[in-house]
Every structure is written in C-alpha cells, then in structure tokens.
Amino acid sequence: MTEGNFVDYVKIHVTSGNGGKGSAHLHREKYIAKGGPDGGDGGHGGHVIIKGNKNLWTLFHLKFKRHIKAGHGEHGGKQRSTGADGENQYIEVPLGTVIRDTETQKPLDEITEDGQEIIIAEGGKGGLGNWHFKSSTNQTPRYAQPGISGEEKDITLELKVLADVGLVGFPNAGKSTLLSVITAAKPKIADYEFTTLKPNLGIVKYRDFKTFVVADIPGIIEGAAEGRGIGHRFLRHIERNSTLLFLIPADAPDIPKQYEILVDELRRYNPEMLDKDRLIAISKSDMLDEELKAEMKKELDNSFDVPYLFISSVAQLGLQELKDKLWEMLNREPV
C-alpha cells in the first residue's frame, strides 16, 4: 500500500430510505361493487449499515464517497399488497474503525470484528394500509398512513490501526528501518524527519510459523498531544497496541530524557496508554564499542524502570533477542 493510499479519516453524509405510503385502495370487482378496504402497507425504508471487513486496511475506498443514500420503500398496493422494502446501503470498513457524530464528535460505535454490522441510519417504517383501520363503525376507511421519513446525519469514520506492537519514537529514530528489516513491509526510508507520514504495518515472522503485527507510527515530537507537528491524529493508532516499543537512537544526546518526553506525550494524550507493556530499544548501537556500551548500561540501569535492549537494524544486531522479548511480552499471562 502506498503512503498516499492510507486514509484513516473520512466524513460522510448518510441518508436512510423513507418508508412507503400505505394504500387507501377500496376493493372493486365485476360482481363486488363495494368490497371494502384492501390497501396494503408501505415498504420499509433501507438502512445505512456499517460493516466490518478484515480484508480492508484503510478507508481509501471511501475517500471520494461523501454522500451515501439507502433506497426508499415502495408504496402499498391493492389486495393488501405490501410495497417492497428499500435497498440497504452497506459501508464496509476495516476493523478498528470508530464511528463519530461529526457535529458533536461523540463516539457512536466502533467496528472490532469481521462481519460486524451497525445500523448507523435506520430506514423509516412503511405506513399502514387502510384495511388496518376498518371497524364496525367505519367499514370503508378512505385514508392510510404515510411512511415515516428516514434519518439523515453526518458521520466521521476514524481508523485506529490494529497491531500487537506500536513503535514509538522521535522522527528519524530508525523505526521505518527496523520495520523493513524484521518484517516484509517496505516503508519509505530517508535521512530526514517525518519520512513516515502514515502508519506502516508489518507482520513479524517468529519461530514455528508464529507471527505478530508491528505498526510504525509517525514520529512524535514534543507537543504532539496538543496537535503540534503532525499532531495527535497519529497518536490514536497506538491506543490499541498491547505493547509499546520505544525506539531511541544510541547517538541521542540524552537517552533517558528522550524517553521521558515520549512517555509524557502519551500521558498527556491518554493516561491509560501508560498501562501497556513497554520495552525500550536503543537503535543504531553498532556505532558503540563494548566499553562505551558498558558505560551506557550503568547509566540506563539507574534511569529506566522498564526493560531495554541494544539493537542495530543495519548491522542486524540484537534483532532476534528483540523478537523473543516482544513475543514473551505479548503472550504473558495476565496478572
């Protein structure tokens, strides 16, 4: 998937179908002059339904669909004939899609399972035909119910990437390079900040044909929680990750300080994110000799309260150890 095709936020105007009118028909045949009411009911208006599809990874297919309308119910006919129901309209979305009311930004629901269906705009009921209103005192009612109008609303679809591990780090920390080495993903890689403008997903092949999914999230900068830089629209992609992998380059001027800033951004965005398992990977460690690495370990042992590893994506150092640790964290029995 190219970067431009990753769409994680769309606004859509949805309209469900109107219910059909009930019929006020009176039965007439050659030898039955006054056969009484036989008007049928109107058909039900079509729903607008959002449906989960595990084969979708993006909202790109909805990028240019701003208006979605369901079919109207048909009117009732004679001989108590019910009008046909309006056609439902389905909006297929990836798993992890949150549905919001555009005006209030209130979450309406979310799609988490394949095949899950949510009626987001309910079709109007069809009106009753006149035969429903026949009584001993009114044997030929000449009226019927009109159909109920459908719903009309603006919704926002917001995708939160579903992955096991979320890569967190400053721009140019080496996240895309790591993803390209441990998975089959082909993210854009270059030596400047904000190369990654969209989340990249990769499947890590582990021992005995086991796998887990890693998401490379666009780099965080100080103030991302307030929307600075690329903004907090990307922070939502790590809300669903069960484990967070913090990537900090070995040549960073102050590794503990960078970690504190990253954690603080997550805390300000959503404090619950700090309840996730965390692992720190010191990237680009091939530039460190053993003596320097030993000195850094002394400092880091006193600074970090979470486990850390030294890795190098380019030199392929510590990557199997990293996979082992991540697998262990992902499959740890809950306390």
280 beta partners = 246, 308
C-alpha triplet 48, 52, 53: angle, nearest 5°:
120
Nearest to 94 by CA among 215, 190, 220, 208: 215
Report the C-alpha gap between 189 and 44 in whole angstroms: 53
Report the C-alpha gap between 124 and 19 in whole angstroms: 5
Which residues make up each annotated binding site for Mg(2+)?
Answer: 176, 196
Instruction: Name the pairing type of β-strands 67-69 and 117-121.
Output: unpaired
Supply the DSSP symbol for 37. Answer: B
Which residues make up each annotated binding site?
Answer: 169-176, 194-198, 216-219, 283-286, 312-314
Nearest to 121 by CA among 17, 270, 264, 276: 17
Non-local CB neighbours of 312 within 8 Å, separated by 6+ positions:
283, 284, 285, 286, 318
User: What's the helix, strand, coil split of the chain in %, to 5?
Assistant: 25, 25, 50
Supply the DSSP symbol for 60. Answer: G
Report the C-alpha gap between 211 and 222 in whole angstroms: 33
Which residues make up each annotated binding site for GTP?
Answer: 169-176, 194-198, 216-219, 283-286, 312-314
